[in-house]
Amino acid sequence: MVIIVQQQEIHNFLVKYFTANQCEILVNTGSYITVQLTVELDKELMNRPFYWHYLEKTGGVPNPMKLTLITDQKKAPEDIKGEVIHFGSPRLHQIFHSTKNLAGYIRLYEDHQATMGQQVPLRPWLGMNVKISYQCDRKRDVFRSIGLQLINGQLIENFHDELLKLQLARKIPDYSFTLSPLIMPNSGVTRIQNMIRSNILEEDHSWANDARERWSKDMKLLEHFYEEAEEKGESYENEKRALQEQYEPKVQISIINGGIFYLSEKAI
Amino acid sequence: MTVEIEFDSSWQEGLVEKITNDGPWGNFELYKLAVEVEKHTVIDNFEGLQAPKHLPNLTPLPHQLEVAKQVVESMNGKAILADEVGLGKTIEAGLILKEYMIRGLVKKVLILVPASLVTQWSYELTSKFYIPAVAQRKSYVWEQCDVVVSSIDTAKRAPHREIILSQDYDLIIIDEAHKLKNNKTKNYEFVQSLKKKFCLLLTATPIQNRVGEIFNLVSLLKPGHLGNESVFNEKYKKDSRDINDNEHLKELVNKVMIRNRRADTGIEWTKRQVETIPIELTKEEQDLYDSVTELRSEGDWTTTSAFSVMTLQREACSSREAVFFTLKNMLEKKENPSKEYQDQITYLIEKVNAVHTNSKAVKALELIQQVNDKVIIFTEYRATQLYLQWYLKQNGISSVPFRGGFKRGKKDWMRQLFENNVQVLIATEAGGEGINLQFCNHIINFDLPWNPMRLEQRIGRIHRLGQEKDVMIYNFATKGTVEEHVLKLLHEKINLFEKVIGDLDDILTRLEFGSFEDHLSDIFGNSTSEGEMRIKMDNLASMIQFAEEVKDGDYRAATGNS
């Protein structure tokens, strides 16, 4: 049952992805889709740089590919030729990756429903969606979405969810003007970083201590193994470095995406 | 205690650039999708397996999932996977690899397997696990591809060696790792110098006869886990029969080794039906066997060529072709052979020429026709293999040969031919390892290897997961020969064929028993009478039986992975 729901989700995701990238969806049966790729998406997904290079040199007519993706193998017609997509398939992960790649930075304005004639000030916010990975020989991740108001320095969590409740537009709506930030976006990013950093430092780090314990245990064994060797040599150094890579606890913070959002006062 | 925190700073730089250039900005739909994807793929727990969710077309068995979980959660990604043959070690390794890849802990992977398995491994990882594993064929592959499958023999040679040693691997998987039991070999030294974060050693036969071998294997994985060499030797080797010490050793080994037995898996295995087929030699064949045997009593042969005599005896039980081949070699390789030596060989070759029927081959043909299904014939000798192929062909049965020396492609091709086109596959020992033939359920042991583990490897080719029928094992034993004695010992006295693999292995190890083969050679080579031989064989059998009884007592608790 879980898998079916998941496959449906994947199907919807693919439709959204291609639509958002201005690709025409030629067939959509619920069990598979056929998409006419745009030139941009062909370059992004189909991995044929030589073709595009050749075409640009010769000035030929570009002929981007059609892609058929099957999301429900049981219901799709048997004679349909395409790639079967599931949660583990490389194609899906390529598309996941591309999604992040293509939408790393954004700038949006709140499309507020203001009364005519009244000028509405829009305040600048910096929004960042981040993934925090706690890594040693094991790993876990936490997703956080943080917003920073660039005038008064207000910080809020779950910023992305707040955005989803609003109407947002790429262009500034009528009867609006933007307020200039007092905090520059660049230092805003640093502020958010610092906040995340201090939050992390306050957390319980028994996982890291455990990892260090495992590390030192293995390190002791290694020392013992080479105890009697006069020259410990390269393999000792290799093993030592490998243990560090295996166990050393660290927290890695990567930014999924983010951007500048101009929002009305009552928005948040 | 503080933890190192790393911030990906590239995004910040990108943002400043976008602001300066006033775009281009992304599309909100995609932006939202990216967040959705991330929320979906975030793994918020150190524990638990993610891999199964990513593998809709694979249903791992409970013991395989348990192994993967244990390796990741409590063995820190360094383990010897030592399940009995046929329990799916490849699946276990694939699950672990997939888990680490999904969690982003592993990217660069080196998989070293016997040459015959390179294609199969890369195929299985790609098709079952959606891991783009590349079979190494070009030297640029090492650097350009993240997951590479190769044989050790290729990897350790220039120019590959230098490239591989210069890289940091996140995970190294070595199949048939028991071949690395000797720390003086080039292969061992090569594997030891690889840079690896996580490591999986796969073997069905982790401890072959000597405790020192397990030391070498574990030291490859986790140097120092069993102490250093001199401490280890002092503690376990000198007084290896001290049960307390061995218990301790087993406990240590079990921290880095997982060994599932068929019986533990809860899977209903198909039965093994073993049939001994006595073979009556023809007068000429018997004459050849006797002539070879008589060599033993002739002074200079015993001292210089006891091994050859025994080899010839065993070959005489297989085919005249095998005997002839060895005789020819003996003559060609001997420097300045004496007249007597030459005469002796010529005399034996005459005996070879006198043989016109191969009684075993006749029986094999009859059996194949009667079975009327796919059959694998195992023989120790290439000459026998060639002969059998010819003989069966003469009688309208086509077969394919299988040898360890075949190139990958040829092995795959032979396996496919056997599956789809021909009735019989004739394999020599070296070819017995590393192919899966569970679509077949009949084995003929045309002659017997003297190493019980090799016999189990043979059976393991077909009696594995995926075998749906009972497995029929036909053992050919020529009456009144060494073969009959060996079979009796293996089959009747120690019930080898009904036994699960590993049991005997544990027993032999426990006894510090030395190689089984050496014992047999000693018995057949140095017994002066039939009676003495019988007594020695009985002794051997009771020793094994005794060890088994001890094992059933307190010993099992330490070896099992409960």
Mean pLDDT of all residues in B229-253: 65
B224 min Cα distance to partner chain A (Å) = 4
Q: Under an 8 A CB cutoff, do B30 and A20 touch?
A: yes
Q: Which residue of A has its CA nearest to B196?
A: A242
With bands split at pLDDT 50, 70 and 90, how would you rate the model's confidence at B300?
A: low
Query: Which pLDDT does position B1 carry in this prediction?
Result: 59
Weakest-pLDDT range from B31-40, B82-91, B201-210, B546-555: B546-555
Closest residue in chain A to residue B7, using alpha carbons only: A253
List of chain A residues whose C-beta atoms are within 8 Å of the C-beta of residue B8: 252-255
Q: Is the dihedral of CA A124, A156, A140, A89 positive or negative?
A: negative
Q: Which of B47-56, B240-249, B428-437, B550-559 has the highest mean pLDDT?
A: B47-56
What band does B408 get if pLDDT is binned at 50, 70 and 90?
low
Q: Smallest Cα–Cα separation from B344: which of B304, B378, B383, B371?
A: B304
pLDDT for A88 equals 75
What's the whole-number mean pLDDT along residues B425-435?
70
Average pLDDT over residues A228-256: 87
Taking residue B542's Cβ as centre, other Cβ atoms within 10 Å add up to: 12
Mean of the per-residue pLDDT values for chain A?
Answer: 90
Q: For residues B465 and B91, which has the higher predicted lDDT (pLDDT)?
A: B91
Q: Where is average pLDDT lowest: A7-16, A204-213, B372-381, B538-547? A: B538-547
Measure A100 CA to nearest chain B CA, in Å. Answer: 5
pLDDT, tens digit (0-9, with 9 covering 90-100), for B164-196: 999 999 999 999 888 888 888 999 999 998 999
The pLDDT of residue B341:
81
Where are any strands of DSSP class E within chain A? 24-28, 32-36, 66-70, 83-84, 105-110, 120-135, 139-149, 155-157, 168-169, 176-178, 250-263
Predicted model pTM? 0.72
Which site among B1, B6, B38, B228 would you substitute to test the A interface, given the most A Cβ atoms closer than 10 Å to its Cβ? B38
B42: nearest CB among A143, A226, A234 = A143
pLDDT in tens, A130-163: 999 999 999 999 999 999 999 999 999 999 999 9
Q: Is the pLDDT of residue B433 over 50?
A: yes
Average pLDDT for chain B: 83
- What percentage of chain B carries pLDDT values higher than 90? 38
Q: Cβ contacts (< 8 Å) between B197 and chain A: which residues?
A: 242, 245-246
Alpha-carbon gap, residue B119 to B542, rounded angstroms: 44
Predicted pLDDT at B552? 52
- Model confidence pLDDT, tens digit, residues A3-26: 445 788 889 999 999 999 999 999
Q: Confidence class of residue B296 from pLDDT cuts 50, 70 and 90?
A: low
Predicted pLDDT of residue B502: 52
Nearest by CB to B197, which of A140, A226, A245? A245
Question: Between helices A233-247 and A206-225, what is the axis angle to 10°?
Answer: 170
Instruction: Give the model's pLDDT for residue B206.
Output: 58
Q: Confirm if B471 and B523 have CB atoms less than 8 A apart.
A: no
Element of type H or E holding B12:
helix B10-21
HSE value, Cβ hemisphere, 13 Å, CA-based, for A235: 17
pLDDT of residue B507: 60
pLDDT computed for residue B522 by the predictor: 78
- The predicted model gives B286-314 an average pLDDT of 74
Q: What is the pLDDT of residues B259-272, one digit of tens each?
A: 888 777 777 778 88
Of the listed ranges B16-20, B245-249, B287-291, B339-343, the one predicted with least confidence:
B245-249
User: Mean pLDDT throughout B203-226?
Assistant: 76
Q: Find the Cα–Cα–Cα–Cα dihedral B113, B115, B118, B121, rounded to 10°.
A: -50
Whether A164 has a pLDDT exceeding 70, the answer reads yes
Helix axes B243-256, B211-221, angle to 10 degrees: 30
pLDDT confidence of residue A161: 96
Percent of chain B's residues with pLDDT above 70: 86
**Confidence at residue B556, expressed as pLDDT on a 0 to 100 scale:** 38
Cβ-defined contact of B30 to A90 (cutoff 8 Å)? no
Cβ–Cβ < 8 Å for A262, A149: no
CA angle B69, B208, B553 (to 5 degrees): 75
Output the pLDDT for position A1: 33
CA pair distance B373, B470, nearest whole angstrom = 13
pLDDT above 50: residue B239: no
Contacting B residues, span 161-200, partner chain A, CB-CB under 8 Å:
168, 192-198
The counts of H helices and E strands in chain A are 8, 11
Fill in the amino acid letter for A127: G
DSSP assignment letter at A230:
S
- What is the least distance, in Å, from the CA of A142 to any CA of chain B? 6
The β-bridge partners of B147 are B109, B133
Q: What is the mean pLDDT of residues B251-255?
A: 80
Q: Is the pLDDT of residue B58 over 70?
A: yes
- How far is Cα A183 from Cα A149, in angstroms, rounded to an integer? 8
Model confidence at A121, pLDDT cuts 50, 70, 90, reads very high
The C-alpha R_g of chain B, in whole angstroms, comes to 27
For residue B243, name the pLDDT band (cuts at 50, 70, 90): very low
What pLDDT is recorded for position A149?
97
Q: Shortest CA distance to B302 belongs to which of B484, B524, B486? A: B524
Residue of A nearest to B25 (CA): A106
User: What are the tens digits of pLDDT across the range B435-489?
Assistant: 778 899 999 999 988 877 777 778 888 887 778 889 999 999 998 888 888 888 8
Please name the amino acid found at residue B454. R
